[in-house]
Structure 1
Amino acid sequence: MPPRPEVVFSSDVANMDEWAQRTRIPLTTAEALGATYARAHRWFQALKQQLIREHNWSDAPSSDSRLLFAVETSSIWRSSVGLPAGPKLKLCLPVHASSFFSPERRVQWEMVFHSDIFESVRKICPPINDILHLIQCLLTGIVTVVFEEQLPEGMYRTTRGLPPIAWVNAHEAALTEIFGVAHFKALRKACNDTKAAYMLQVLPSR
């Protein structure tokens, strides 16, 4: 059975620093990260509108002014009589990147990124993949895709911290507008380097 990819959220700054060293894209200040994230607002909003227009999502009721947007949709799974087999799926993103690092909101973001939205829906819904990949570019290490495979010598855990190079090339203009030319070139170089974009750990068998 092939390894099953799992999206993992982590607000551990040390983890981000490790990815910064791996990708050779240095971590900047919190203010700089926040400013870059803010420049991506328009793209995030466009992806939200695409979810609503093309994929049967709708605005979710929310009075939280800290959210950039909140949308929801029915579960993709159906019961034997064709009704949604589960609660609605809710996707939200914060206005400020710093919210991802707030200890009291860690569970909120885990519930978003560890949900069926990123487990299953993203495989059939391109805007969800775009959101994942954009966050990987903006805040590398905070959301990764993990594959685990049990082999005789132990558990092989492969973690992808950056998007596929094809995605980066396809969105060159938008990414350059957000990051600038120099940072985009460094990002593309890292995405094209397996050792930079992926991390392999071998965990001994117990």
Structure 2
Amino acid sequence: MTSPPPQLFFSNDVATMDEWARRTGIPLTTADALGTNYARARRWMQSLRAQLVEQHNWRDVSPLDSRLLFDIECSTPYRSSRGLPRSPNMRLQLPANASSFFSRERRVQWEMVFHSALFPGLRHTVPAIADLLHLLQCLLTGMVVLIKEEQVPGEGVYRTHRALPPVEWVTSHEAALVDIFGASHYRQLFRAASDNRVAFKLERA
């Protein structure tokens, strides 16, 4: 039996993020510190938006909500045998400020972004999508988690949770990550991403 590909799950539950903070040794920052790091990451995020627009046929949605850093969409690549779209256009939105991820009124908005087919479908083929996912995992560890379900004969279903990027990605983007987080925080990220017992969590469903 072929197991389904990992799916991305969004949760703004602070208790869940705190659990990952204890697991990874990367402490939760204050709201101000998180806002500062997110602000430092905006230039990188905007460069990823530009790559998607210029190289992958995404387009800006206008008018832009002032609460958003960017709002872009593209036609779904999933087509029927007759060439008809199998799903609505893919849409990618990010807030101008990290605090918006924790707004109760906007939870469904972010679930629509992260629970869509966008990240599972494109993160292996579009580097900018993978970079965006991994950057968010570094900024808000435990907020967006990849979960893979596997059926083990005679034992049931196991779920593997991954809250951090691959260590190879962390290493190859060292300069940009140090610029955002500082050298000490980067070393914590590197150590956690290097240890599968920390970066992954296995549970029985």
Q: Same fold (TM over 0.5)?
A: yes
**4+ residue runs of structure 1 moved beyond 3 angstroms?**
none
Q: Report deviation, 1:202.
A: 1.4
What is the TM-score when the length of structure 2 is the normalising length? 0.95
Contact residue 78 and residue 85 of structure 1 kept, 8 A: yes
- Greater displacement, 189-198 / 148-157: 148-157
Question: In 2, Cα distance between the equivalents of 1:148 and 1:159?
Answer: 9
- Matching residue of 1:197: 199
- Matching residue of 2:118: 117
Question: In 2, Cα distance between the equivalents of 1:112 and 1:86?
Answer: 14
Q: Report deviation, 1:81.
A: 3.5
Contact residue 157 and residue 201 of structure 1 kept, 8 A: yes
Contact residue 62 and residue 70 of structure 1 kept, 8 A: no
Contact residue 52 and residue 58 of structure 1 kept, 8 A: yes
Q: Report deviation, 1:64.
A: 1.2
- Matching residue of 1:43: 44
Q: Report deviation, 1:13.
A: 0.2
The gaps in structure 2 that reach 5 residues or longer are: none
- Matching residue of 1:160: 162
What is the TM-score when the length of structure 1 is the normalising length? 0.95
Question: In 2, Cα distance between the equivalents of 1:155 and 1:62?
Answer: 45
Contact residue 64 and residue 70 of structure 2 kept, 8 A: no
Contact residue 5 and residue 120 of structure 2 kept, 8 A: no
Superposition map of 1:17-166 within 5 A:
17-151=18-152, 152-166=154-168
Question: In 2, Cα distance between the equivalents of 1:99 and 1:195?
Answer: 31
Contact residue 76 and residue 121 of structure 1 kept, 8 A: no
Q: Secondary structure, in 3 states, of the residue corresponding to 1:141? A: coil
Question: In 1, Cα distance between the equivalents of 2:48 and 2:8?
Answer: 19
Q: Secondary structure, in 3 states, of the residue corresponding to 2:111? A: helix
How many residues are matched? 203
The CA RMSD measured in Å over matched residues stands at 1.1
Letter in 2 for 1:201: E
Question: In 1, Cα distance between the equivalents of 2:86 and 2:203?
Answer: 36
Q: Secondary structure, in 3 states, of the residue corresponding to 2:57? A: coil
The gaps in structure 1 that reach 5 residues or longer are: none
- Greater displacement, 153-162 / 77-86: 77-86
Contact residue 3 and residue 151 of structure 2 kept, 8 A: no
